[in-house]
Structure 1
Amino acid sequence: MENSHHHLKQSLLASIKWEPPPTGWIKLNFDGLVHNEVATTGFVSRNWDGHVMLAGVKKIGQTSITVAECLALRDGLTYTVHKGWRKIMLKGDSKVIIDCVNQVAAPH
């Protein structure tokens, strides 16, 4: 039983491994969280070697998870672009936000 649990844990960790962007690009991961009616946003920008170039976390008060995700993306892009990087890949887990970025859906 212990071996199967250990194997499962390794498999899960392997499936969520961070994938680097192509050489010369920055990858911006962003996320929002709402817990006990308080929203928090966060982002991390890494280069193709996996080095963290920028990161930020901010409590934003009461809002929806969609707004929190959108603000996390906005903050991450603002700071990343301000540093002069233009080749930026985005990674987030909000289908609504990703669809809007890809112009598949209209924003709410």
Structure 2
Amino acid sequence: MTTNGIEAVFLETHNWGKAAKFFQALGYELEFETGHSSGQLRNGDGPYVFIAEVPEAKEPGMQLVLKATDADKLAADSAVEVVTSLAETHYGTREMTVRDPDGRLWSVQAEK
């Protein structure tokens, strides 16, 4: 197996405070706030939700992140179109972007 479910949901918002309160009302707990209008929440053992505020002129986006158990094997699989190669992040993981057969982009995250 090269992936193991959903690792995270990345959300963009126009109002970090309101978005955080919304998810807290749904039972999520704030794990940390970055200090620059973003932070991470989690509900139990499920995927974490990372929310970042974006300017009003930008449409808020959403991205699901798959958890990789063998990212190197996945990156080498000819059935997977790799859009951005596996690379280290500033927050302690390795990530890559892949495209599914219908053109959707998926982020894949692995531990270092």
* TM-score interval, smaller chain: under 0.3
**TM-score, L = length of structure 1:** 0.26
**TM-score, L = length of structure 2:** 0.26
Q: Larger C-alpha radius of gyration, 1 or 2?
A: 1
Which structure: greater strand fraction?
A: 2
